[in-house]
Amino acid sequence: MNSLAINAGGLSIPVIRSGPGWLILDKPAGLSVHNEPGADLLSLVNGFFSNRPCIAQAHDFTPEFGFHAVNRLDRSTSGLILAACRQEVLSFLARQFESRTVKKIYRAVLHGHFLQETEQEGGIWNFPLSPDAAGRNDPQGGGRLLPCSTRYRVLARSAHYSLAELEPLTGRMHQIRRHAAMSGHPVAGDRRYGTRRSIAFLSRNLHFERLALHAYGLTLTLPGEALPETIESDGIPADMRALFEEDAPERGIR
C-alpha cells in the first residue's frame, strides 16, 4: 500500500497507489467527489498538492490543471477513486472506463441471507432498469427499461446480514443498490432504496448512518504498464466491518 495520505479538511484519505500524473484514493463515505467546490474530494486533493512542492513534482502535478476524477462514486459510497492531473494520463485512463474494459468490484453488507446453493456458487441479477435513479417504492424505475446485470457472490453471513462481493456488468445509475433492493437484499443503510424501518433501526440502535457499500477493487492498465492489474482497497471500512462482525456471526463462506 502507498504510504501517502491526503490530510486535509479534518480527514486522512489514503492513497492506495500513485504515479506520475495519477492517484488511486480510498474515498470515505459522506464525501462528494466533485460537487462541493472547496470541500469535495478533488478540492482537498488539489489543495494538498498545491502546498507540497516536492510531492507535487513527483506526481507531475500543476495547480493550473489539477487532479480530475476518472471514475465516479456517490457521496454515500466509499472506496476507490482514480484521479489524473495530466491530460494524456486522464485520456488514457478514461478510455478504459468508456470502453468498459475496467473490472469494478464492490463489497457490501446486505440485509438477509441467500439460499445456501446461491451462497456457495454466486449468481447474476439480470433485472432491467430505467436509465435514471428511482426510489424504494419502484427501484426498477419507470419508462424505458434497459438490460442490466450484476454478478454477486456471498463471502460470509452474520445473524442478519450477508457480506457480498458485487460486480456490475453494465453501468446504470445506482445499479448495485437497485438490484440488491429488487432481489430482496437491500444494502444496509440505503436511505433511497432500503426500508424506512431498517434505516431507523440502524440509526437508533447501532448509530450506523452510512450506506454499507464500498468500491473495493479496480482491474485496469495503469499508465506506463502493458498489462492490466488489480488494485484493491485496504479492506472494507471499519464501520461496515463492525456492523457485520458485531452481528453475532453464524459462519463464514470462505
Pair 41, 27: CB distance under 8 Å: yes
CA distance 254 to 247: 18
SS3 label, residue 94? helix
Please name the amino acid found at residue 34.
Answer: H
Q: Diameter of the chain by CA atoms?
A: 55
Q: For residues 72, 149, 172 and 75, what is the CA-based torsion angle, rounded to 10 degrees?
A: -40
Marked catalytic residue, from 26, 40, 74, 190:
74
User: Is 40 noted as a catalytic residue in this protein?
Assistant: no
Find where cell 466491518 sits: 241
Pair 108, 77: CB distance under 8 Å: no
Pair 237, 211: CB distance under 8 Å: no
Question: Which residues form the catalytic set?
Answer: 74
